[in-house]
Structure 1
Amino acid sequence: MSVFATSLPSARSPLSRLFVPAAALAVALIVPLGLDGDGYAIRVIALVFLFAALGQSWNIVGGLANQISLGHAAFFGIGAYTSTRLLIDFGLSPWFGMLAGGVFGGAAAALISLPTMRLRGHYFALATLAFGEVMRVVANAWTGLTGGPVGISVPYSAPGLWMLSFKGTLPFYYLNLAALVGVTAVFVGIRRSAFGYRLRAVREDASAAEVVGVDTARIKIQAAVISGALTAMLGTLYAQMNFFFDPDAVFGAAPISVRIALIAIVGGIGTAAGPILGAILIVSLEEIANVLLSGQVAGLSNLVYGVILISVIMIQPHGLVAFGPVFRWPRRVPAVDAPK
């Protein structure tokens, strides 16, 4: 009998494993039919999709390798500024800017990973946080490139998919949904691959993984590069959707780095469903608190939001996926016989 079979739930059929995500995708596709295509609700759901995708990209390094990064805003901001500057200076389509941003984001992730990936726990988290803050300070000072504290506007283009310019929010709803599906597919593919097994081995016990031949530093750097590239590419969607941003909005620790880490952690770290559930809860709570309490005592909305978030974490430290087996997709894996 497999040692893994005794510690994990029995595997479901491929059809049953696909039913929940397929049903959720079908619902997401038809939701706009009952809502105003340019309304506030569509924008909130589009933001849920975008931040769920960001949480999923963070999950590759934070969930699979257990490297808790608080500096992903650096990659996000690189992607947002790369596509916008290429559009302003050369008239290039944001699709090209997205690819270029992914390259620069991956390169930046490799650059910061080389000296920090041997760090563990809070030391690594603080190192990545410092990197993100350095990028924010540099962006505020480099006014010729970023616009500094004044910010930068995405130039108007004729509406169309090629230039990612639209009159309403509905196209970004579907673009962000497609991005979420794509990033989730990458996460699931990595998690089920030999690369993913090595990452989880490093997460469980890096010293033991090294003993059996896993190059722990290289594996973690590779995960960081993939995560950084995806995060940077999502920065392009954010820039095009908002039309205007500044260094504090895209490089800030609280609005980006801490938020996407919380989304994955609250939802369920290391799972595909976790960042999606986390984004639904956190982004929705933020919007509800801002709408209902913004006119009350200063800071009350943030206080209520923080209390609710802390309560959720205290009630279920393993994340929202732990509340029901339907949310644990695709954690079940086939049993593997123990070596004899």
Structure 2
Amino acid sequence: MKASRILPILLIVALAAPWFFDARGYGIRVLCMIFLFAAVAQAWNIVGGLANQISLGHAAFFGIGAYTSTILLIKFGVSPWLGLVVGMALAMALAVLLALPTLKLAGHYFALATLAFAEVLRIIANSAGSLTGGPQGLSIPFNPNGGFWAFQFSSTVMHYYIMLAAFLLVSGVFWAIKVSAFGYRLRAVRENEDAAEVAGVDTFRTKLMALLISAALTALCGTLFAQFNFFFDPDSVFGSSAISIRMALITIIGGIGTLAGPLLGALFLLPLEEFINATLSSRIAGLSQLVYGVILIVMILVKPAGFVALFSGRKWSWIK
């Protein structure tokens, strides 16, 4: 099916979806989280999918976005929209510091280095209680009359449309990169970095640019997460299992390196996780995590290429 036919239909469905749910209910919140984590997984996909630089520390950039915008709001009254921009800039600066010693590493060495980077920031956030609230976290005061500039609304529907817009923005950036000369250089690095160097590709600069873009978009999602939940702590935004591994899992289950993969993965994993926790968490301790893990293992064994493998043929090539 041609993209020109199905994309408008999907967009109409996405725009109309909130009207089938309670504006302040549980269902609309799940939809918000689906699009938010689809967006953050798509941001990770730029580095992990196109360049095959498997980062387990993207929670560092996610947390930077959350803390920067929230601290500026609470302590200086700065709008979260401005804090979002500052958080993106700070995430890019930290990405440069991370890249200088680590981007020359390959495989699991790079993954471990990024994991350690996020863990260092989590420890700092736990220790700097006067600034970050420490282990108690930060709470954003709710003002129902705050409006768009304050990023506070009386209905969750507005948050939904902001999450949807964020997903479309990040996916647009991913697609623009993928079809550009920069995207081809990233895929050259993914396939054979040494051969890419011989062919004249500046592999370090290519990977650095991908990391900078990915870090900025991840920080954007971190700001949206903080403003949507009104509370977070170091473990919930810097924790690798809560953020970094989740965004990687969503991308892998959906289809790594593809346009539709993160959305397909989020549409499957987020509702599944919520359903399992709601039905099994009150029974046997650890049962919900066990069932969730078994389902993930089965999915990877059955469809190692992800859900996008279900859409074969040239007519579906636009989603890959």
Q: TM-score band, normalised by the shorter chain?
A: over 0.9
The CA distance in 1 between the partners of 2:16 and 2:58, in whole Å, is: 32
Q: Is the 8 A contact 1:159 1:167 kept in 2?
A: no
**Letter of the 1:152 counterpart:** L
> Which of 41, 45, 51 pairs up with 1:55?
41
Partner in structure 1 of residue 82 of structure 2: 96
C-alpha displacement at 1:21, in angstroms? 2.9
Greater mean alpha carbon deviation, residues 219-228 or residues 168-177 = 168-177
Change (3 A) 1:279 1:107: same
Q: Is the 8 A contact 1:76 1:231 kept in 2?
A: yes
Partner in structure 2 of residue 124 of structure 1: 110
Q: Which digits, 9 at most, give the CA deviation of each residue in 1:190-246, with x for residues without a partner?
A: 001111110011111111110111000110011000000100011111011000110
Q: Is the 8 A contact 1:53 1:179 kept in 2?
A: yes
Partner in structure 1 of residue 306 of structure 2: 319
**Letter of the 1:38 counterpart:** R
**Letter of the 2:13 counterpart:** V
Partner in structure 1 of residue 166 of structure 2: 179
> Which of 117, 123, 129 pairs up with 1:137?
123
Greater mean alpha carbon deviation, residues 16-25 or residues 312-321 = 16-25
C-alpha displacement at 1:330, in angstroms? 3.6
The CA distance in 2 between the partners of 1:19 and 1:256, in whole Å, is: 34
Does 2:205 correspond to 1:222? no
Partner in structure 2 of residue 274 of structure 1: 261
SS at structure 2 position matched to 1:254: helix
Partner in structure 2 of residue 283 of structure 1: 270
Partner in structure 2 of residue 302 of structure 1: 289
The CA distance in 2 between the partners of 1:123 and 1:72, in whole Å, is: 15
Q: Is the 8 A contact 1:133 1:251 kept in 2?
A: yes
> Which of 65, 69, 80 pairs up with 2:66?
80
Structure 1: stretches of 5+ with no match in the other structure: 1-11, 332-340
Larger Rg: 1
Q: Which digits, 9 at most, give the CA deviation of each residue in 1:36-77, with x for residues without a partner?
A: 111111000110000000000000011000000000000000
The CA distance in 1 between the partners of 2:89 and 2:104, in whole Å, is: 23
Does 2:315 correspond to 1:329? no
C-alpha displacement at 1:328, in angstroms? 4.7
Q: Once superposed, what is the RMSD of the aligned Cα atoms?
A: 1.2
Does 2:156 correspond to 1:169? yes
Greater mean alpha carbon deviation, residues 32-41 or residues 207-216 = 32-41
**Letter of the 2:230 counterpart:** F
**Letter of the 2:215 counterpart:** G
C-alpha displacement at 1:329, in angstroms? 2.6
Change (3 A) 1:81 1:327: farther
Q: Which digits, 9 at most, give the CA deviation of each residue in 1:257-280, with x for residues without a partner?
A: 000011111110110100000111
* TM, length-normalised to structure 1: 0.91
Structure 2: stretches of 5+ with no match in the other structure: none
* TM, length-normalised to structure 2: 0.97
C-alpha displacement at 1:156, in angstroms? 2.6
The CA distance in 2 between the partners of 1:137 and 1:19, in whole Å, is: 49
**Letter of the 2:199 counterpart:** V
Q: Is the 8 A contact 1:271 1:329 kept in 2?
A: no
Partner in structure 2 of residue 337 of structure 1: none
Does 2:56 correspond to 1:70? yes
Q: Is the 8 A contact 1:322 1:328 kept in 2?
A: no
The CA distance in 2 between the partners of 1:108 and 1:238, in whole Å, is: 20
> Which of 17, 23, 43 pairs up with 1:37?
23
The CA distance in 1 between the partners of 2:270 and 2:142, in whole Å, is: 28
SS at structure 2 position matched to 1:63: helix
Q: Is the 8 A contact 1:321 1:328 kept in 2?
A: no
> Which of 232, 257, 273 pairs up with 2:219?
232
Q: Which digits, 9 at most, give the CA deviation of each residue in 1:265-316, with x for residues without a partner?
A: 1110110100000111111111000111121101111111111111100101
Partner in structure 2 of residue 152 of structure 1: 138
Partner in structure 1 of residue 252 of structure 2: 265
Partner in structure 2 of residue 6 of structure 1: none
Does 2:100 correspond to 1:114? yes
Change (3 A) 1:300 1:328: farther
C-alpha displacement at 1:327, in angstroms? 5.9
Greater mean alpha carbon deviation, residues 111-120 or residues 319-328 = 319-328
Number of matched pairs:
317
Change (3 A) 1:52 1:328: farther
Q: Quote the sequence identity (%).
A: 58
The CA distance in 2 between the partners of 1:106 and 1:24, in whole Å, is: 32
